[in-house]
Amino acid sequence: MAPLRVLELYSGIGGMHQALKDSCMSAEVVAAVDVNTLANEVYKHNFPGTPLWAKTIEGITLKEFDRLSFDMVLMSPPCQPFTRIGLQGDVSDPRTKSFLYILDILPRLQKLPKYILLENVKGFESSSARNELLQTLETCGFKYQEFLLSPTCLGIPNSRLRYFLIAKFHPTLFSFQVHGEILTRFPDQDLKDLIKDKVADKLDEANYSVLSKEKNLDRSTGPDCSSKKNLPKGAFLFKLETTEEMERKHSQDNDSSIQMLKDFLEEDNEEMNQYFLPPKSLLRYAFLLDIVKPTCRRSTCFTKGYGHYVEGTGSVLQTALDVQCYLYAILDILHSLNQCLNALR
Residue 45 backbone phi and psi in degrees, to 5: -65, -45
Check: CB of residue 164 under 8 Å from CB of residue 146. yes
Catalytic residues: 79
Q: What is the per-residue burial (b if ≥16 Cβ within 10 Å, else e) of 89-108?
A: ebeebeebebbbebbebbee
Question: How many CA atoms are closer than 13 Å to the CA of 179, on its beta-carbon side?
Answer: 2
Check: CB of residue 65 under 8 Å from CB of residue 105. yes
Check: CB of residue 98 under 8 Å from CB of residue 136. no
Report the distance separating Cα 228 and Cα 219, nearest Å: 8
Report the distance separating Cα 203 and Cα 198, nearest Å: 9
* Residues linked to residue 32 through DSSP beta bridges, in sequence order: 8, 52
Task: Estimate the crossing angle of helix 15-22 against helix 37-46, to 10 degrees.
Answer: 20
* Nearest CA-CA partner of 235 in 319, 311, 326, 331: 331
Residue 89 backbone phi and psi in degrees, to 5: -70, -20
Residue 127 backbone phi and psi in degrees, to 5: -95, 160
Check: CB of residue 40 under 8 Å from CB of residue 34. yes
H helices of 35-96, in order, are 37-46, 62-68
Q: What is the per-residue burial (b if ≥16 Cβ within 10 Å, else e) of 237-271?
A: ebbeeeeeebeebbebbeeeebbbbbbbbeeeeee
Give residue 287's identity as a one-letter amino acid code: F
